[in-house]
Amino acid sequence: MAWDEWEQIKADVTHRQAVTMQLNHVPADPGASTGTVTGGLKSSKKAWLTAGEGIGSLCKGVGTALTELADGQAGIGRVADCLSAAAQKEVYDSWKKYAEGISERCGSLQRLLEQVGNDQLKTDEAVRAEIDRMRRKYADTAPVGGRPTGR
């Protein structure tokens, strides 16, 4: 706090006036805030937490699908004796890996949204850094099967 501001506060108290102090970087309204991450739109803790809950429910759905996928695969037996069973096992392993990856990605995104909602990531820069970290971690691979356009 600057010395002049301190002197002003003491003078206000002496004259029994209401004392107010404002921090330069904190908005006066602690409710909804705006930021560059949200494109200047107002956001609130509740919105971030609700988004995190929505992603969490998607994660639960993927978990349920993984359980049902495993249940459907049970009882196939030895895949070496049957080519179609071997092919089914290969497809199952592929889809299981894919669904587990989706579940992990959803869990990471849910944690990120909840951190923003709980003010654990307070600045736009911190949010952007975490989103960029997630983009790098979960970068999609190039599509299989040739060029995506101009066929």
Q: What is the pLDDT of residues 49-100, one digit of tens each?
A: 888 899 888 888 888 988 988 888 887 767 777 888 888 888 888 888 888 8
Residue 51 lies in a domain: yes
pTM: 0.58
Domain ranges, residue 60: 34-137
Q: How confident is the model at residue 145 (pLDDT cuts 50, 70, 90)?
A: low
pLDDT of residue 43: 66
Between residues 48 and 20, which one has the greater pLDDT?
48
Q: Which residue has the higher pLDDT, 90 or 22?
A: 90
Token couple for 79: 């895949």
Mean predicted confidence (pLDDT) in 5-24? 62
Alpha carbon distance 24, 21 (integer Å): 10
Q: What pLDDT band is residue 37 in, cutting at 50, 70 and 90?
A: low
The reply to whether 2 falls in a domain is no
Domain presence at residue 23: no
Amino acid in the structure at residue 128: R
Mean pLDDT of the chain: 76
C-alpha triplet 4, 9, 14: angle, nearest 5°: 125
CA–CA separation, 63 and 114 (whole Å):
20
Is residue 124, in this structure, part of any structural domain at all?
A: yes
Split into its structural domains, the chain has a count of 1
A 10 A CB-CB count for 122 gives 11
